[in-house]
Structure formats: structure tokens, C-alpha cells
Amino acid sequence: MNKRRKRRRQKRIISIITIVVALILVAIAAVYFKINKDEGAPNGSTASISSILNTSKNENATAEKGSTTSTETDNTYDNLIAGTGKLNFSYYMDNVYANIEYPDFQDELFGYLKSREYTLPELIAEFNEIFKNEDRYFGDEGVTYVGYSYLDCGNDGNKELAIQIVCPVVEEYSSLTMILKEMEGDIQVVHAFCQWSRSSSDINEYGVITSSGSGGATLHGWDTSIIDANGKYIFGYSEEEQSDINMFYTGEEHPEVDTDSYEGDIFIYSLRTKEYSEENAWPEYYSYAVYEDYQDEMNIPNLYTDSQYQKIMDTFGIDFIPMDEFNQKIEDRLNEIGATKDMLNGKTLEFTEIKF
């Protein structure tokens, strides 16, 4: 619990105690006044000190019960998991969704929501209604699993919550993961991502997101990003590997390479350190390596300066840097976004099922 929430709760308890004490004093004064004004009560009954104290105890118990109820309905992670607390989409819709150039699967789903605040049972019910639209989604079962896991984005000691939902957001048994953070008393959705059969994404205990996917039999990619201590998503880098040299695309035509004219297999790598956009459509760096039987990297003398492989790569008309420089670009980018070694080596989240 953060300090701001703790102070609010302390003030609430003090206010309740003050009200209870005031009620006791008012009750005593009223009875005292009535006893002095009317020597007897109707039907011969009299008000005693013990009855006053019993009444006060009952009022105090009622007030304490009310205090407990108020606490139970606070927007905490535990209450959200229990089905009573609420999560809020305002941060995501105003700061993420509103600025997305190319909406992803989760953005499309969130765009169909009718409200911005839900308990988990309410959200699941609305998701299931959305998934019934066969023109948009397919999958007869709707949501089949909901799980949670705690994490510490940015490794600052403050707790965040991840909710994972298995549902047909992309395909029948794809999944949606939402990262939640307490912000000014609300539990806000700050980031979300999907995974399915051709795209795998994981988030670790410190908010490091790693993804991998396939764009075909010979094209594979992976990327790393983080959610920092403030709940902000920061893109790190995206890397692609093309194992068929004649499938390597640069936007320009190039002569077909005779792959039988040299030993080994040339793998081409591309790197972007800026998230894809219309202005940043192409990777910033390229490199290549030569493998034997697609597995073991071959040690080629002067590979990038004076080799038959270098002459082949020159035909593409772009600059290729050595792999050690390429890898250093990745390391520099991770340092730039604050992804420390401890964060990068954090454990992948494991989710516990929520049953309502």
C-alpha cells in the first residue's frame, strides 16, 4: 500500500472514531435531559446508565461494522482479485490508445468497451458479449481462464499487478495480459499485449517484456521493452533474422544470389531501436553471419571487409556492420531505457488462476 493511500485510510479511521464518540455524548446528554425533565417514563419504564452504555456499545459496533465494509470495498489489488475492486481503463485510453498509430488486437478489443471501470466479473461478462460477434471474433467459449501475478515494474519496490485472460482476442485460445498500477486511488490499466500461436510474449517480475514471432518459415523476430516504475511503456529494440538471403527485402530490387556458390548459409539481421511508425519504417542497422547447416556459426576471416560474403552483401546497396557492433547497439539501447542486468534476468511471471 503506498503512503498516500495509507494516510487516507488513517484519516478515515480517525473520522469514524470522532463520529462514534460524538454519538455517544449526544445519546448520554439526551437521556440525561429526558430523565431530569420527566421523572418517569410512559408505562413506568426508566432509562438506566446500563441501557445507555448498551446503546452506545451497539452504535459503536455498528460504526465499526461500517468501517470494515468501507475497507473491504477499497480499490486494492486484493479486492480486485476477489471480484469487488475495480480496474480503470482511463489511463490506457487517454495516454496509449489515443496515441496509437497502428492499433493492435488489444486496442481493437478495448475500443468496444462501453465503460472505463469494471470489476473483473463485469469485465469478463462484457468481453464475452463482445466475443459473440462472429464478424469480429471466433471461438465458442469466450473467456476460459483468468489469472493474476504480482510484479515490480522498474525494480523500485512498489507492487504492480498483471492479469492474464485466455480468450479469442486473436484466435480461439489466444491470451490477453494487462498490467495494472495504482494511480491516485484507482487501479489503472497501463499496458496490455496479446499472444497467440505465431507470437509469444512474456513479462518478468521487473516489467521487462520479451516477445518473439514468425513472419514465415525463414523470417523470425524478437524484441524487448520495459514498463518503468511510473507505469510507462518504453520500447527497447526489435530484431529480425532472415535465413533465406533471396527473401531479404530492402525496398529495392537486387539480383538473385546463387546460394550454391559459397559455403554455409548467410543469415541477415536487422535492428531497430525506434518503434515502427510511418517515419521510422526501416531498421537502422544491419549485419550478417554465416552458419554451417543453419546451426553453427562459421569463423570467416575478414568477413565484413574482404570476403566473398562481403562482396555478395554489397549487392544489396546498404551498409552492414560487424555482429559485435550490432550486438553492442542492442546493449547500448537497453542501458538507455534503464533495463539493468537485474531487471533483464528477472523471473518470468507465473499466474495463479482466479475463480469467481
Q: With pLDDT > 70 as the criterion, what percentage of the chain qualifies?
A: 79
Q: Exposed, middle or buried: residue 22 (CB in 10 Å: 0-12, 13-18, 19+)?
A: exposed
- Structure confidence by residue, pLDDT tens digits, 177-209: 999 999 999 999 999 999 999 999 999 999 999
Q: Pick from 11-15, 28-32, 42-46, 113-117 the range whose average pLDDT is largest.
A: 113-117
Looking at residue 248, what is its pLDDT? 95
Looking at residue 278, what is its pLDDT? 87
Residue 41, pLDDT above cutoff 50: no
Instruction: Flag the least confident range among 90-94, 222-226, 291-295, 341-345.
Output: 291-295
Cα Rg of the chain, angstroms:
31
Could you tell me the three cell numbers for 336? 538507455
pLDDT, mean of residues 141-164: 98
- Structure confidence by residue, pLDDT tens digits, 237-289: 999 999 999 999 888 888 899 999 999 999 999 999 999 988 889 999 999 99
Residue ranges per domain, the chain?
Answer: 1-32+42-57, 74-207+340-356, 229-337
Q: Exposed, middle or buried: residue 119 (CB in 10 Å: 0-12, 13-18, 19+)?
A: middle
Q: Exposed, middle or buried: residue 340 (CB in 10 Å: 0-12, 13-18, 19+)?
A: middle
Q: How confident is the model at residue 73 (pLDDT cuts 50, 70, 90)?
A: low
The order of strands in the sheet holding 352-353 is 117-118, 87-88, 186-195, 174-183, 160-167, 145-151, 352-353
pLDDT, mean of residues 55-61: 40
Residue, of 47 and 104, whose pLDDT is higher:
104
Residue holding cell 496515441? Answer: 99
Q: How confident is the model at residue 356 (pLDDT cuts 50, 70, 90)?
A: confident
Could you tell me the three cell numbers for 124? 469478463
Residue 319, pLDDT above cutoff 90: yes
Q: How confident is the model at residue 69 (pLDDT cuts 50, 70, 90)?
A: very low
Tell me the CB-side half-sphere exposure of residue 176, using CA atoms within 13 A. Answer: 26
Q: CA-CA distance, 154 to 340, in Å (whole number)?
A: 9
Q: With pLDDT > 90 as the criterion, what percentage of the chain qualifies?
A: 72
Residue 122, pLDDT above cutoff 90: yes
Residue 138, pLDDT above cutoff 90: no
Q: CA 288: distance to chain centroid?
A: 34
